[in-house]
Structure 1
Amino acid sequence: MLRFTRAAEDLARYLLERYAQDPEAESYGLEAAKATGYGPGTVYPVFRRMTDAHWLLTREEDPEAPATEGRPPRIYYRVNPEAVGAIRQRLAEIDARRRATSPRSNPAPSLDPAPATESRLRFRRKK
């Protein structure tokens, strides 16, 4: 099972949103980093894990275009259509776990509902 950090969750949602708009939509790492607010050092390892899990398909940019711009070729990522269900299921599991452990759905019992008063806060001095 793919390890899902908060960054992986946010990036998966970002990619699924792009996929919903256009199933052929591609993203590259720096673009995803800017869109989600995570640094490239966070985005690229998540994309690598998702690619290893076959959730993302990759293609390398034509090397001629970046050479004229003086940058390395980009790797473009897009959601693997066969993995959409697995990604959605994993996000649904995370959402369900979060709902089950949220304070609103599972309030802790109050141990002392009475407000603190001055008389309750006084300390006795030893004589």
Structure 2
Amino acid sequence: MEPFNRWTRVAIDVTRYVCERHMTEPDFEFYGFQAADELGYGPGSIYPVVRRLERAGWLISREERDNEPRETGRPPRTYYRVNPEHLQAIRQRVAELDARARKSASITRPVCNLNPVTEVGHVGGGER
């Protein structure tokens, strides 16, 4: 199941993050604030994406166990990891998104500015 109809920058970045981290460390687990911190997004941007990836079956979650160390007063974290059954779909989607990004980056728009503005209201190159 495809998690998104429209892939936002955050969705792309989170999916790429999950895929790349899994490829280098197959047992990699993360929690939302960790991904937010590493990717430079706020948790309010990350959590909806992670939840959609989980609902689509691309991620598996687990609650932090009572025997896992944590700071006093901090609620248990939800950890996420790649669902091995959907790894191929994740890798394929990341490859497609990367190809799309490369194609967009290769399209250059010619810039033609014969009379650059040098001051507010004044076009450069002539007398005032």
Q: Same fold (TM over 0.5)?
A: yes
3-state SS of the aligned residue for 1:19?
helix
Percent identity, aligned pairs only, is: 49
Q: Let me know the Cα RMSD of the aligned residues.
A: 2.6
User: Which consecutive residues of structure 1, in runs of 5 or more, have no partner in the other structure?
Assistant: 123-127
CA distance in 2, matches of 1:108, 1:34: 34
Distance 1:91 1:70, change over 3 A: same
| Equivalent residue runs for 1:1-127 within 5 Å | 1-3=2-4, 4-63=7-66, 69-102=72-105, 105-108=106-109, 115=114
Structure with the larger helix share: 1
Amino acid paired to 1:94:
L
Are 1:66 and 1:72, in contact at CA under 8 Å, matched by a contact in 2?
Answer: no
User: Which consecutive residues of structure 2, in runs of 5 or more, have no partner in the other structure?
Assistant: 116-124
> Larger radius of gyration, structure 1 or 2?
1
CA distance in 2, matches of 1:109, 1:32: 37
CA distance in 2, matches of 1:51, 1:108: 39
**Which fold has the larger relative contact order, with Cα–Cα distance below 8 Å and residues 6 or more apart in sequence?**
2
**Residues matched between the structures, number:** 114
**1:125 aligns to what?**
none
